[in-house]
Chains A and B, each alone.
Chain A
Amino acid sequence: MKKLYIICLSLIILSPAWQQAYAGWPIGKYRSIVIPSFSYYTSKDKWDSNGIKVTGENGSGFTSYAIGLYYGYGLTRRMDLLVNVLAPYQSSKSVTSAGVVTPQNSSGLGDMQVGISYALANFGYKSYLSIQATGIVPLYKNTNRAIALGYGAYGSEVKLMYSGGISRLFKGYYNLEAGYRRFFDAEGPNVLVYSASLGVPVPGRNQASVEVGGQWASSNNKSFSQNLSVNRDFAFTKAGLNFGHAFTRRFSLFANGFYTLTGRNSGIGSGGSLQAIVKI
């Protein structure tokens, strides 16, 4: 369980990147989307249980790199099959009172998310209200790891998504999401996830979007420690910018950068990702 929290948080922060690719829009029957991605996250300072910034010791910090692979397939006009796997590399440096820096790291397959997305309703085929139900399967065991790759527990998530185009205004698009995630562990946590994004096309087959999102997690384990790994009761809000370019009709590349704006029992960090979107 050591270093568990911040590691999970980093995965949680990183994982939504691929979701922007299709959001609540159905992929379309018989068609597929493959999204390999590379994500990066780092933090040194943190917010305590009251949301007050605590500066990290010099030399301490946490860094995560993750390679992800998302696959989506349109089973029907409304229903998509989704699979997402992350393979993180976690690196943590803690500093003792004597000033000794202790580096730890671990890597391997992380959590796999498998499930379906179903378009509940469309509004003139311009906007869609969809529900997504996924199961979280840990592809690792945390025993004998210096730092954990995740909670190491099965979980599930149900999410509502409302996505659509804003043709009258500036030919942009929006995506609103709200969901509930539960890890099947005695200490949970129960997590509310939310995000809102707004995108616009940019001349030259580009698009840019801004996103605000976050999580609010609660657990019967309310304790707070400067050692973030023991915390499961947390919250954070992050803001990000995305920029994408379509190289061909089937291949696009998206770059994303984000920063955590506020939080409780969580790290203050920033990161980014690079995603290749391949439509088949």
Chain B
Amino acid sequence: MQLLQGIKLYAITISIILAGAFNAIAQNDKEETGEITIEVNPGNKNAIFKDDENVGYKLKIKSTYKAAQAGKLTYNILTDDFTNISTNSIPIHLTKNSAETYTVNIPQQRPGFYRINFMLNTTTYDDTVKKVFGVSPEKIVTQLHRPADFDAFWKASIDTLKKVAPNYKVIFRKDLSTKAKKVYLVEMQSYQNLLIRGWLVVPTYGKKLPVHYRVPGYVVELKPNMDNDDYIAFDINVRGNGNSRDAVSVGTDTYCLVGIEDRDKYIYKGVYLDCIRGLDFLYANAKLGIDTSKIYVEGGSQGGALGVVLASLDKRVKVLTVQVPLYSNIHDAYKITNGYDSQVFPFKMFRKYQENHSGYTWDKFFSVWDYYDPQNFAPNVKCPVLMGIGLLDMFCPPRCSISMYNHLGTANKEFVSVPNSTHEVDFNYFMFQNLWIREKLRIP
């Protein structure tokens, strides 16, 4: 009996101890539950600063922890190709459930783009926020690697294209048309007598309309653009893209590698010339209501590169808008992407190819790409240009886009920087682009 009572007493004691312990653990969990959010705002909304002003950031750090948080905020500044410039830190103290704003001031920097990493280390929370800012980007000067026979090469290429009979076909697609818009599938023969296709969407309201000529991103299929009420929309699928895969049909991993070892066989020779053939089509079919005096070309990523090339080679482009133009300043892109922890498009493909092909050197790579780098085409672009960049873009490092922009042969150019975007721009940019195009083409 005594033994039984002893066991009961023991069990009760253990229960009380365990209950207390669980309670303490639960309490502890409750105190540790929470998070810290860091809102990073550059002093200038577009995160572009001048080289004669300090660079400023405001960080709003909010804690939902029920315990005070103490620690430090370290900010590390690097060049865009990962050379360390400075590392500093400021103490952080947050009471429970509170928010504090901290100001970070960075001395003047030379023109360029810089990475800034904000590392927060507090009692129970560690986090890093990575941002990029620009300093007087218009002052960035880069070397052109333009081959001596660059112009001759492209003149000869265009002459070759001219010898290809286009054999345009304009096929009305009733099934895709609406009351407000007529949709046409268009076909034409391009360089190497290759069949390419595109989509023409003509609003039924209006007799003669400006044209929005869109060139495609990397192996992106363009479909009829039904969003344009004030323009005729022409979307071309260059060889290997969308419905132009009759002769070239390769995936995204190899598209940019087709013929890469020979400037005359590289796929982009045909791709660039396909874009010119698209312009030929618009001029040859003005009867469809096309106002050839108001053709604006737009493209993003690879399309951005195509836009620059097209406006350079063909002055029939009246206005150009590009976003995150791929391949620009390919020499610097190579250097910058060298510092990436893991490789991304497009140098991921180029590096893989180089690794797998013995004897294929970077010199060989550049000896071909110098004929295709949009930056080398930029000086011949004379029409108004609007460019949008994402500062966190790893595919098209901002320095490369801007250096190409700085080489554009027109003073009538603007760029828009979107600080929190990667390989894209934001909705605001497109709203502005719409107004910008109307201004340049004098569309009310």
Contacts and interface: CB of A to CB of B under 8 A. Distances in A.
Contact of B444 (A31, A124, A125, A126): A31
A28 B427 contact: no
Question: How big is the A interface, by class?
Answer: 10 to 19
A168 interface: no
Main secondary structure of the interface of B (DSSP, over half): helix
A33 B444 CA distance: 9
Interface in A23-73: 28-31, 33
Contacts of B444: 28, 31, 33, 249-250, 279-280
A30 B431 CA distance: 19
Contacts of B432: 125
Interface string A120-152: 000011100000000000000000000000000
Contact of B230 (A33, A77, A126, A249): A249
A2 interface: no
B202 to A, nearest CB: 14
Contacts of A249: 205-206, 230, 444
A28 B206 contact: no
A29 B431 CA distance: 16
Main secondary structure of the interface of A (DSSP, over half): loop
Contact of B439 (A28, A33, A126, A250): A28
Contact of B206 (A30, A248, A280): A248
Given A205-B205, A279-B444, A280-B444, A28 B431 contact: no
A27 to B, nearest CB: 8
A126 B442 contact: no
Nearest to A33: B444
Interface residues of B, number: 13
Nearest to B435: A125
Given A205-B205, A248-B206, A249-B230, A31 B431 contact: no
Contacts of B206: 248-249
Contact of A29 (B205, B434, B439): B439
A74 to B, nearest CB: 8
B296 to A, nearest CB: 16
Contacts of A28: 435, 438-439, 444
A276 to B, nearest CB: 14
B379 to A, nearest CB: 27
B5 interface: no
A29 B443 CA distance: 10
Nearest to B207: A248
Interface string B337-350: 00000000000000
Interface in B203-257: 205-206, 230
Contact of A124 (B205, B427, B439, B442): B427
A124 B444 CA distance: 19
Contacts of A77: 435, 439
B181 to A, nearest CB: 14
Interface in B387-444: 427-428, 431-432, 434-435, 438-439, 442, 444
Contacts of B427: 124
A244 to B, nearest CB: 15
A31 B428 CA distance: 22
Interface string B171-206: 000000000000000000000000000000000011
B435 A31 contact: no
A280 B438 CA distance: 12
Contacts of A29: 439
Nearest to B430: A125
B187 to A, nearest CB: 30
Interface in A60-100: 77
Nearest to A205: B205
Interface string A227-262: 000000000000000000000111000000000000
Nearest to A250: B444
Nearest to A31: B444
A248 B206 CA distance: 7
B203 to A, nearest CB: 10
A49 B213 CA distance: 64
Contacts of B431: 124-126
Nearest to A125: B431
Contacts of A126: 431
A10 B123 CA distance: 72
Contacts of B205: 205, 249
Contacts of A248: 206
A124 B230 contact: no
A249 B432 CA distance: 21
Given A28-B444, A249-B444, A250-B444, A124 B428 contact: yes
Contacts of A124: 427-428, 431
A43 B148 CA distance: 81
Contacts of B428: 124-125
A77 B444 CA distance: 13
A127 to B, nearest CB: 11
Contact of A30 (B230, B434, B439): B439
A60 B205 CA distance: 49
A147 B439 CA distance: 46
Contacts of A125: 428, 431-432, 434-435
A279 B444 CA distance: 6
A125 B206 CA distance: 26
B176 to A, nearest CB: 21
A23 to B, nearest CB: 15
Best-surrounded residue of B205, B206, B428, B444 (most CB of chain A within 10 A): B444
Interface of B: 205-206, 230, 427-428, 431-432, 434-435, 438-439, 442, 444
16 contacts: A28-B438, A28-B439, A28-B444, A29-B439, A30-B439, A31-B438, A31-B439, A33-B444, A77-B435, A125-B428, A125-B431, A125-B434, A125-B435, A205-B205, A249-B230, A249-B444
Given A77-B435, A280-B444, 7 more contacts: A28-B435, A31-B438, A124-B427, A126-B431, A205-B205, A248-B206, A249-B230
Q: Which 6 A-B pairs have the closest CB atoms?
A: A279-B444, A125-B431, A29-B439, A31-B444, A124-B428, A249-B206
